[in-house]
Structure 1
Amino acid sequence: MGDTTEKFPAGKTVITSDHALKLEFVPEWIAIVGSGYIGLEFSDVYTALGSEVTFVEALDQLMPGFDPEIGKLAQRVLINPRKIDYHTGVYASKITPAKDGKPVTIELIDAKTKEPKDTLEVDAALIATGRAPFTQGLGLDKINVQTQRGFVPVDERMRVIDANGELVPHLYCIGDANGKMMLAHAASAQGISVVEQVCGKDHVLNHLSIPAACFTHPEISMVGLTERWPRTPFGFVMFNPDGSLDGNPGIKGGEEPQAREKAEKEGFEISVAKTSFKANTKALAENEGEGLAKLIYRPDSGEILGVHIFGLHAADLIHEASNAIAMGSRIQDIKFAVHAHPTLSEVLDELFKSAKVRRKASLGPELRFSLILHWLKLTFLVQLVNLLQSKLLGVV
């Protein structure tokens, strides 16, 4: 079950990602509302075609859904050297398409105070604030299922949950419509999981093992938890009938605590390891040394909590980490794996090798001898006491 982009005053100058590759002209200046996956990818496309790009971002920083370190490096490589400027901390409260020779106008308001901030005049505007579920007209109300801003509530097995918290018999919901992870390959994995269950084999899909990628150049990829709570992962924004933004973006996803919040809540420690593409022979040979890989893990157990990559072919490299999480592999299990040289995969090799997992305390030979000696002494004393007690009882 899929999704849709919300209706917006259309035309050939105010578009969504569904139409962004079908423009009949290359705009000299295009505004992109939203700096997540979709916005970044299309900024890559349009700047390559010669357009100037302006980002409009509601939060205080660009790329708010990415790991901060990854986002900072990506901004330095993908945005700063290019013909891209940006406005952060503002909403696009109203967008008026070009008409009668007039440009597209975008009215910006402060995200916190809602006071007017600025008005942009551009050749085109791309709405890249995410996607909304396409679940209207399914008759869910007839079976007592209440959607949450359009998303169908499901359990970990994709079984639909009604308004009373009960499972609806024989009814599953997969894909964007359940809001768990709005990615095509996530929907496919959910479908396979449901088929397993229908065939009598219990299966629970680990969504933390599903990777995500942003297809810029270089690419960005991630799997598992971020170090801290992501602000807008896989979000969506609702629009009013007149085309203005709702004003309060409805964010779906990212509701579970991320690594540091989870560690504080459950009482364990996390560590971070990082490696650079600048040390990778193949990346340097291709003049693509700008890149970073980041590992978030538990130093006590070696559990991999998350991996984030920015660099050449990051979307391909992430699968080694994704498969490790899916299989429950620990760092100590995979850090001795051998990678061909020279390959980009050595970035992950160095990443896992640099992680420090604490070994459980082992007893040295002297300590073992001392403990054995103490145990023998204690055993002797216990036997001596028992012997004396038996003799005293015999005298009495």
Structure 2
Amino acid sequence: MSHEFDYDLVIIGAGVGGHGAALHAVSCGLKTAIIEAEDMGGTCVNRGCIPSKALLAASGRVRELRNAHHLKAFGIQVQQVSFERESIAAHANNLVAKIRDDLTNSLKRLKVETIRGRGRIAGPQKVTVTSSTGEKTITAKDIILSPGSVPFVPPGIEIDNKTVFTSDDGVRLESLPNWIAIIGSGYIGLEFADIYTALGSEVTMIEALDQLMPGFDPDIAKQAQRVLIAPRDIETKVSTLAKRVIPGSPVVIELADAKTKEVVDVLEVDACLVATGRIPATQNLGLEAVSVELDRRGFIPVNDRLEVLVDGQPVPHLWAIGDATGKMMLAHAASAQGIIAVENICGRSRIVDYRSIPAAAFTHPEVSFVGLTEPAAQELAKAEGFKVATTRSYFKGNSKAIAEGETDGIAKVIYREDTGEVLGVHILGLHASDLIQEAANAIAERRSIKDLAFTVHTHPTLSEVLDEAYKRAVVAH
């Protein structure tokens, strides 16, 4: 520990990224403080991953128990299924409280000092904390910025947090509208469409781009529409802009052609969820005190070591992690960045391998991916002069999936034709979020599909879906 400073490390923001960084810093012997103005655990714990997964778990049970045809195949009959919205909401709230308490207690147990208030850079290696009791300045040898993100609300959309709301309010499940419009068809929109349709709501999904699920691999998006959207009470509108949204009873939505911006229809619905992505919470961080400028989208510029940059050069002893960097807006990516930033602070040089960080949508069935989509892989191949190949396998041929009666699904592996290096894996199907980790590890190690085809997978398990894909690739070549 340096005696010139109050702390070895000060972290601004106690979300998953800041928490992970703090725990690792303590294990490395650093005297650490973490500054948080709002709820410990940030978006993930309080308004994101945790409560939404609780809602998906409960609503998924309702969907399964109401699927009489599916249960009949097992010889099971359920006469009537009912639920209490308030109890499902309470399940999510209770889980949030437990995880938040666990996170807070882990910091206390390891003697990380928690400072309540709003932190901002006051100069090199200085942070000012403003709270209800006043203002104080502390010093630190190193500072990590982890301010997170907030939902993006496009112009023309008015939020009242009751009839028109973002995921921040949606996870509280304060009502179950008969008809809800969801603006956006990314992870958040898909998961909420899953929740609402399972609990009996009609959904209209509005997407400004010309295809649903634009961030996903095209093959997976196509399959997901067949499995997650078409059979359910979901109407879809693509190339459509929610030009104006007016809260009330009903909610009035002016729909415009995404290209011409001309109003083409008016919807009147019971509620509207705005799921148009997230933007960095990077205002009022005091970055001007160290001459740092945000990029045009509001993200903090960093390199792969997570050092904050000015004109491409690192600012000494200043680091940034998580959503605010704009690299991958995922809780586990933030946590990985936090650990790597601390490693670099301790002089053990490391960089983040973003290609090997997986992601998932916890729909029923789930969608997951790691690495490149096929279009992105083709772009890389063109630039570097190699050929891309793909292989697919299907859940309908998997013994465990057949036993579960859950045979909708596909695994797609994208790889280099010459070396066999795996570039991307995309899965839609039962437990896809768990299956993707094997592929993420393979990409992290830059494994070849030629080697993976000879690894042994437990039978009968869903992991054999990937085993089948690997083997098909080797047979094809």
TM-score (norm 2): 0.67
Q: Distance in 2 between matches of 1:127 and 1:104?
A: 12
Which of 58, 67, 70 lines up with 2:208 in the alignment?
58
Contact 1:332 1:357 in 2 (8 A): no
Are residues 1:333 and 2:333 paired? no
The residue number in structure 2 matching 1:301 is 419
Contact 1:212 1:222 in 2 (8 A): yes
The residue number in structure 1 matching 2:382 is 264
Structure 2's unaligned 5+ residue stretches are 1-145
The residue number in structure 1 matching 2:403 is 285
3-state DSSP of counterpart to 1:62: coil
Superposed displacement of residue 90, structure 1: 1.2
Structure 1's unaligned 5+ residue stretches are 229-257, 360-396
How many residues were matched structurally?
Answer: 326
Contact 1:133 1:151 in 2 (8 A): yes
Q: Distance in 1 between matches of 2:319 and 2:150?
A: 20
Contact 2:151 2:276 in 1 (8 A): no
Are residues 1:165 and 2:312 paired? yes
Are residues 1:219 and 2:348 paired? no
Q: Distance in 2 between matches of 1:281 and 1:97?
A: 49
Could you give the per-residue CA deviations for residues 53-93 of structure 1, whole angstroms, max 9, x where no partner exists? 00010011111111111111110111111110011101111
Q: Distance in 1 between matches of 2:161 and 2:267?
A: 18
Which of 333, 352, 355 lines up with 2:470 in the alignment?
352
- Which structure has the larger Rg? 1
Whichever residue aligns with residue 439 of structure 2, its letter is: A
The residue number in structure 2 matching 1:206 is 353
Whichever residue aligns with residue 10 of structure 1, its letter is: D
3-state DSSP of counterpart to 1:194: helix
Whichever residue aligns with residue 19 of structure 1, its letter is: D
Q: Distance in 1 between matches of 2:287 and 2:171?
A: 34
Which of 82, 93, 100 lines up with 2:243 in the alignment?
93
Are residues 1:10 and 2:160 paired? yes
Superposed displacement of residue 167, structure 1: 1.2
The residue number in structure 2 matching 1:108 is 255
Superposed displacement of residue 140, structure 1: 1.2
The residue number in structure 2 matching 1:34 is 184
Percent identity at matched positions? 60
Whichever residue aligns with residue 31 of structure 1, its letter is: A
Which of 421, 429, 437 lines up with 1:311 in the alignment?
429
3-state DSSP of counterpart to 2:360: strand
3-state DSSP of counterpart to 2:383: helix
Which of 156, 177, 191 lines up with 2:304 in the alignment?
156
TM-score (norm 1): 0.80
Q: Distance in 2 between matches of 1:311 and 1:5?
A: 28
Could you give the per-residue CA deviations for residues 349-384 of structure 1, whole angstroms, max 9, x where no partner exists? 11111113999xxxxxxxxxxxxxxxxxxxxxxxxx
The residue number in structure 2 matching 1:382 is none
Which of 204, 220, 223 lines up with 1:70 in the alignment?
220
3-state DSSP of counterpart to 1:25: coil
Q: Give the aligned CA root-mean-square deviation in angstroms.
A: 1.3
| Alpha-carbon spacing, 1:206–1:357, altered in 2? closer, same or farther (3 Å) | farther
Whichever residue aligns with residue 225 of structure 1, its letter is: L
Contact 1:299 1:357 in 2 (8 A): no
| Alpha-carbon spacing, 1:346–1:358, altered in 2? closer, same or farther (3 Å) | closer
Which shows bigger deviation, 217-226 or 21-30? 21-30
The residue number in structure 2 matching 1:127 is 274
Contact 1:301 1:358 in 2 (8 A): no
The structure with the greater share of residues assigned to helix is 2
Whichever residue aligns with residue 433 of structure 2, its letter is: A
Contact 1:140 1:146 in 2 (8 A): yes
| Alpha-carbon spacing, 1:357–1:261, altered in 2? closer, same or farther (3 Å) | farther
Superposed displacement of residue 150, structure 1: 1.3
Contact 2:450 2:474 in 1 (8 A): no
3-state DSSP of counterpart to 2:414: strand
